[in-house]
Amino acid sequence: MEAEVSRRLAEAALAAAQADGAEVRLLDEAGQRLVVTAAAGDAPHPAVSLALEESPLAREALAGGGPVIGADVDLTAAPRPGSSLLCLPLQHEGRSLGLLCLHAHLPRRFDTTDGARLTPLAALGAAAVAVTQALAEEKNLEASRAQFVRVATHELRSPVAVAQSLVRGVLKGYAGPLTEKQQEVFSRISHRLDFLESLVNDLLDLAAGKAPELGEPVAPVSVTASLRRVVVLWQPHAEEKGLTLTLRVPRDPLLVHATEEGLDRVFVNLVSNAVKYTTTGGTVTVTAERAGGQVEVVVSDTGIGIPTEALPHLFEEFYRAPNAKALGEVGTGLGLAIVRDLVQRYGGRIGVQSVVGAGTTFTVTFPVAGEGSG
Amino acid sequence: MPKILVIEDDPDMVAAVRMPLEAHGYEVVAAASGAEGLKKVKEIHPDLIILDVMMETTTAGFQVSLQLRSPDPASEYAPYRHIPILMLTAIHSTTSLRFGPDEAYLPVDDFVDKPIDPEVLVEKVRRMIGQ
């Protein structure tokens, strides 16, 4: 992308100045060398990569911040009789990025008017170069984060998995009979390891969710189908707890731009929370419908509710409402942070209303796929 | 007594696999790398192989299974091609990396997820050995 921006800049400058050649030279990371990133016309450049100290003209242009004109010399100040040179610094927000140099096979071809005329083009080019460099840097950061997540996935999960496997074997009596007390202690250890496993998995999901290149491409997928899968999955848990879990969806597949896996994850989190925090005899109702250009999904329960003071923190990482913690259910405080991330990635919004002791309603809206800009 | 070869580089995971299998009367032999595993296959001719995916490299287990199941009749592992392989995986079930037994992709017969549930492991081993 940097090469493309440089090429366009060199070509535009060549045409604007009616010169014989143009080249864009950018400073390397150390700021010591000027490297040609694009050339247009017959640019007689001395070397593709040039140390700053070899080029008094380049130093002058970069230090002065304005155009520099050379007569009968090249960029290294070597004699080149009958030629002209015009160098403009590429600077953006006070930072020197490199040079835009123009050459002509004529003596005294450039004057200060040419310099002034090309200055806005150089400024625009510098801004474009700065943006592409920033984008490339961000891409690198994202790639290394994705790599970190992959390594962490293995390094964090495997010791937990080993410990869990061993403890499960002991609990089943494969390491010899256990006393009642030992059984209780190992059960506690096992419970903590289960928690640690879900914490690690949630953390990695969160990290992976924020590194977009790890995700599948977004395409139109059905909200109705996703809700059916999730409700079928949670129906047995609801029945076990003596809850009524109801799904009301239209025939319409309700397509939105997302991934099936991401959408499932959103609804699994919301439905499982509702089931988790609703006591026996309660109800959990899931509905979906089209409202204009939006698909609206409502998950409401008659559970313990969320205190008003907890609502602003609900989507923060590791936050758990005090009454949720008091219930003793396993929870990492990451589920709703993951939900919020995913919903935002799919261009949607999430809201919550709750009354302590009466219940909670989560409302998620997504733009309908295939309409408006989509 | 049926012999089971466990190819796994983590001694603690070997212990976790060994515990329920020995309690059910299986003889368990361990190998700590893919190369050692291939050598032991020839030495002890096991009734079943339990294979980890990530060992000295992230795909060492895949390489072992590909070699054992090589369709080449001249392969040095041809006499062992019929031995059932149970693969240990640590693939997080909620990621998109779900995979199941797929002959075309990976010649193993079944998978067990880590962390291991000892009863699931024993049940799979029993079925695969044909008991």
pLDDT in tens, B85-98: 998 876 544 333 33
Q: Which of the residues A166, A186, A190 would you substitute to probe the B interface, choosing the one with the greatest number of B C-beta atoms within 10 Å?
A: A166
From the list B12, B54, B58, which residue is nearest A166 (CB)? B12
Mean pLDDT, all residues of chain B? 84
Average confidence (pLDDT) over A42-66: 83
pLDDT at residue B93 in the model: 41
Q: CA-nearest residue of chain B to A164?
A: B115
Rg of chain B taking only CA atoms, in angstroms: 14
Average confidence (pLDDT) over B109-127: 91
List the 148-207 stretch of A: residues with Cβ below 8 A of B.
153-154, 157-158, 160-166, 168-170, 172, 174-175, 193, 197, 201, 204-205
Measured in degrees and rounded to the nearest 5, phi and psi for residue B35 equal -65, -45
Q: Of A43-57, A144-158, B26-40, which has the strongest mean pLDDT? A: B26-40
pLDDT at residue A214 in the model: 47
Query: What is the Cα–Cα distance from B98 to A123, expressed in whole angstroms?
Result: 51
Mean pLDDT, all residues of chain A? 87
Average confidence (pLDDT) over B39-48: 96
Question: How far is Cα of residue B30 from the mean position of the Cα atoms in its chain?
Answer: 11
Task: Flag whether pLDDT at A329 surpasses 80.
Answer: no
pLDDT at residue A332 in the model: 76
Query: What is the Cα–Cα distance from A88 to A119, expressed in whole angstroms?
Result: 7
Contact check, Cβ <8 Å, B115/A160: yes
Contact check, Cβ <8 Å, B17/A165: yes
Average confidence (pLDDT) over A11-35: 91
Contact check, Cβ <8 Å, A161/B90: yes
Q: CA-nearest residue of chain A to B24?
A: A174
From the list A164, A205, A216, which residue is nearest B94 (CB)? A205
Contact check, Cβ <8 Å, B114/A204: no
Task: Flag whether pLDDT at A212 surpasses 70.
Answer: no
Cβ contacts (< 8 Å) between B12 and chain A: which residues? 162-163, 166
List the 227-266 stretch of A: residues with Cβ below 8 A of B.
261, 265
pLDDT at residue B102 in the model: 45
Contact check, Cβ <8 Å, B16/A265: no
Yes or no: say if A98 and A27 are a contact pair by the CB < 8 Å rule.
Answer: yes
pLDDT range class, residue A99, cuts 50, 70, 90:
very high
Query: What is the Cα–Cα distance from A316 to A329, expressed in whole angstroms?
Result: 19
Q: CA-nearest residue of chain B to A154?
A: B90
Contact check, Cβ <8 Å, B119/A172: yes
Both tokens of A76, joined, read 């290294």
- Prediction pTM value: 0.56
Q: State how far residue A264 is from chain B, nearest Cα, in angstroms.
A: 10
From the list A157, A164, A175, which residue is nearest B19 (CB)? A175
Contact check, Cβ <8 Å, B16/A162: yes
pLDDT at residue B8 in the model: 93
Instruction: Give, for B125, the enclosing helix (H) or strand (E).
Output: helix B118-129
pLDDT at residue A327 in the model: 75
Query: What is the Cα–Cα distance from A57 to A202, expressed in whole angstroms?
Result: 57
Average confidence (pLDDT) over A279-301: 95
pLDDT range class, residue A317, cuts 50, 70, 90:
confident
From the list B10, B94, B119, which residue is nearest A162 (CB)? B10
pLDDT at residue A248 in the model: 95
Question: How far is Cα of residue B93 from the mean position of the Cα atoms in its chain?
Answer: 19
pLDDT range class, residue A128, cuts 50, 70, 90:
very high
Q: Which of A311, A303, A305 is nearest to A275 (CA)?
A: A303
Q: Which of A67, A94, A90 is nearest to A2 (CA)?
A: A90
Contacts of B7 (CB under 8 A, 6+ apart): B30, B31, B33, B34, B36, B37, B40, B49, B50, B51, B52, B55, B61, B64
Higher pLDDT, A162 or A108: A162
Query: What is the Cα–Cα distance from A142 to B84, expressed in whole angstroms?
Result: 41
Q: Which of the residues B95, B97, B98 would you substitute to probe the A interface, choosing the one with the greatest number of A C-beta atoms within 10 Å?
A: B95
3-state helix vs strand vs coil in chain B, percent to 5 = 35, 20, 45
| Assembly ipTM | 0.82
Task: Flag whether pLDDT at A374 surpasses 50.
Answer: no
Query: What is the Cα–Cα distance from A26 to A58, expressed in whole angstroms?
Result: 11
Average confidence (pLDDT) over A327-333: 73
Question: Assign residue A338 a region: left if phi > 0, alpha if psi is -120 to 50, beta otherwise?
Answer: alpha
Yes or no: say if A284 and A299 are a contact pair by the CB < 8 Å rule.
Answer: yes
Collapsing DSSP states into helix, strand and coil, what is residue A318?
A: coil
Q: State how far residue A189 is from chain B, nearest Cα, in angstroms.
A: 14
Task: Flag whether pLDDT at A205 surpasses 80.
Answer: no
From the list B16, B90, B94, which residue is nearest A169 (CB)? B16
Average confidence (pLDDT) over B4-16: 94
Average confidence (pLDDT) over A23-50: 85
Crossing angle for the helix pair B118-129 and A112-171, to the nearest 10 degrees: 80
b/e code A285-306 from CB counts within 10 Å (16+ = b):
bbbbeeeeebbbbbbbbbbbbb
Dihedral of alpha carbons B60, B65, B70, B75, sign:
positive
